[in-house]
């Protein structure tokens, strides 16, 4: 579920300039499905969906293809897509609600929360902070193979909270891969540990915390966890392996719940847009800044890369720049928040350009490079259309 750190198609697009037309208030979204047809035909993914947001309004959207290769059911914009690692920013946002209530701090350490729970914790873990874990700089491992931990997690024994406790124990009883703050190591385990920290201080499962503290306040009604759909039915898109083989919905159609905070959420693109809009409007670079749900300082925390070597990452976002994202004010630099997500059977990507008050989402129900390229091409088509 590691994000694509260089999306070449989107990187190479020309700047739109400061005079891009301002959309009308409450627009009827433009149907851009026709833009997706040639991309779908070339990539051969089962379906492809895209959405453009200005502020809190969806201004363009489209979807083409089928829910399952070999079946006739057409994919629709009411369908749910697996978000993979785009769950990470959602977990960070939920954590921010606990920070604002004083239940946690960005500086809360693993030792403070779990020191007494795991007496065999390696001393190197005790000073690791939530902020470091949410920036992939806490020394958490890139994989969970050590000691057969991934195999035990894959057995899915017990409730998700118990599975995350198993993960935490398996990780923190070994030394961190690197001293905290010294290296960028993309780690699903780090986000899972933070989710378990939230469970420890609240007594509630991460899944319930997400529903109560994030989805419900944003009006997200289609949000859930694991692969969407009903086993034995084609009532939602099915995931597909990189070679296009359909994967029926069910427990084994996704990664184990133990790493849920790193990447198991699913929802419709319209509901995902509500979350993306929250961060688009709340960014300090947005000339129409509008902060909801949290304080401005907590959005600033989630959007500011952790100081240190490695990728500019913070709170579930890769923070970078693009020329097409440059606004019209003096000093605008075209900052963007970007992330992609995949559990190898789905792929999605989001680009947020606060200075232009615009964001783009794309998703498909297949994993692999072809799926990632299709999502990038879909967003590129929208950006090019906006610049005409």
| Nearest partner of 4 among 338, 383, 353, judged by Cα | 338
How would residue 329 be classed by pLDDT, with cut points 50, 70 and 90? low
**Burial of 19 (C-beta count, 10 Å sphere; 0-12/13-18/19+):** exposed
| Nearest partner of 298 among 213, 359, 219, 223, judged by Cα | 213
Instruction: Give per-residue pLDDT as tens, 262-314.
Output: 999 999 999 999 999 999 999 999 999 999 999 999 999 999 999 888 999 99
* pLDDT of 27: 72
Once rounded to an integer, what is the mean pLDDT over residues 54-82?
98
Domains of the chain: 8-86+209-387 (3.40.710.10), 90-204 (no CATH)
* pLDDT of 2: 44
Once rounded to an integer, what is the mean pLDDT over residues 22-37?
81
Residue 314 — φ and ψ, nearest 5°?
A: -160, 130
Place of tokens 């991460």: 206
The answer on pLDDT for 1 being more than 80 is no
Instruction: Give per-residue pLDDT as tens, 222-261.
Output: 999 999 999 999 999 999 999 999 999 999 899 999 999 9
How would residue 327 be classed by pLDDT, with cut points 50, 70 and 90? low
The answer on pLDDT for 385 being more than 90 is no
* pLDDT of 13: 45
* pLDDT of 9: 43
Angstrom distance (rounded) from CA 70 to CA 240: 12
CB contact set of 294 (below 8 Å; sequence gap of 6+) = 93, 96, 97, 100, 282
Q: Is residue 357 within 8 Å of residue 342, measured between CB atoms? A: no
* Span of 33-47, 73-87, 93-107, 319-333 with lowest mean pLDDT: 319-333
Instruction: Give per-residue pLDDT as tens, 123-135.
Output: 999 999 999 999 9
* pLDDT of 8: 39
Burial state string for 136-152 with b = 16 or more CB within 10 A and e = fewer than 16: bbbbbbeebeeeebbeb
Instruction: Give per-residue pLDDT as tens, 108-119.
Output: 999 999 999 999
* pLDDT of 323: 85
**Average pLDDT taken over every residue of the chain:** 92
Q: Is residue 58 within 8 Å of residue 273, measured between CB atoms? A: yes
Instruction: Give per-residue pLDDT as tens, 162-210.
Output: 999 999 999 999 999 999 999 999 999 999 999 999 999 999 999 999 9
Burial state string for 76-114 with b = 16 or more CB within 10 A and e = fewer than 16: ebebbbbbbbbbbbbbbbbbbbbbeeeebebebbbbbbb
């Amino acid at each position: 579920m590691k994000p694509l750190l260089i999306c070449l198609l989107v990187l190479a697009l020309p700047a739109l300039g400061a005079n891009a037309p301002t959309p009308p208030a409450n627009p009827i979204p433009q149907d851009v499905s026709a833009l997706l047809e040639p991309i779908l035909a070339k990539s051969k993914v089962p379906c492809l969906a895209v959405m453009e947001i200005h502020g809190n309004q969806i201004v363009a959207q489209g979807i083409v293809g089928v829910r399952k290769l070999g079946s006739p059911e057409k994919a629709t914009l009411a369908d749910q897509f697996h978000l993979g690692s785009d769950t990470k920013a959602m977990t960070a946002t939920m954590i921010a609600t606990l920070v604002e209530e004083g239940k946690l701090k960005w500086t809360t350490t693993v030792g403070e929360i779990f020191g007494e729970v795991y007496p065999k914790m390696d001393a190197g873990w005790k000073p690791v902070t939530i902020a470091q874990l949410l920036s992939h700089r806490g020394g958490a491992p890139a994989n969970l193979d050590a000691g057969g931990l991934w195999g035990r997690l894959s057995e899915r024994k017990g409730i998700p909270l118990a599975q995350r406790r198993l993960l935490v124990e398996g990780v923190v009883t070994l030394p961190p891969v690197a001293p905290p703050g010294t290296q960028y190591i993309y780690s699903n385990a780090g986000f899972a540990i933070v989710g378990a920290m939230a469970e420890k201080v609240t007594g509630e499962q991460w899944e319930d915390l997400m529903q109560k503290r994030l989805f419900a306040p944003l009006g997200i009604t289609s949000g859930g966890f694991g692969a969407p759909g009903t086993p034995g039915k084609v009532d939602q898109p099915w995931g597909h392996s990189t070679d296009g083989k359909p994967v029926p919905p069910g427990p084994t159609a996704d990664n184990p719940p133990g790493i849920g905070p790193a990447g198991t959420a699913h929802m419709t693109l319209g509901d995902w847009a509500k979350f993306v809009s929250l961060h688009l409007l709340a960014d300090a670079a947005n000339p129409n800044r509008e902060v909801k749900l949290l304080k401005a300082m907590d959005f600033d925390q989630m959007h500011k890369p952790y100081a240190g070597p490695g990728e500019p990452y913070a709170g579930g976002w890769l923070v970078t720049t693009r020329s097409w994202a440059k606004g019209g004010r003096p000093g605008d630099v075209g900052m963007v928040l970007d992330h992609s997500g995949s559990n190898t059977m789905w792929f999605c990507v989001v680009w947020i350009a606060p200075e232009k008050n615009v964001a783009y989402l794309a998703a498909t129900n297949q994993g692999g490079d072809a799926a990632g390229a299709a999502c990038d091409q879909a967003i590129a088509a929208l950006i090019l259309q906006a610049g005409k």
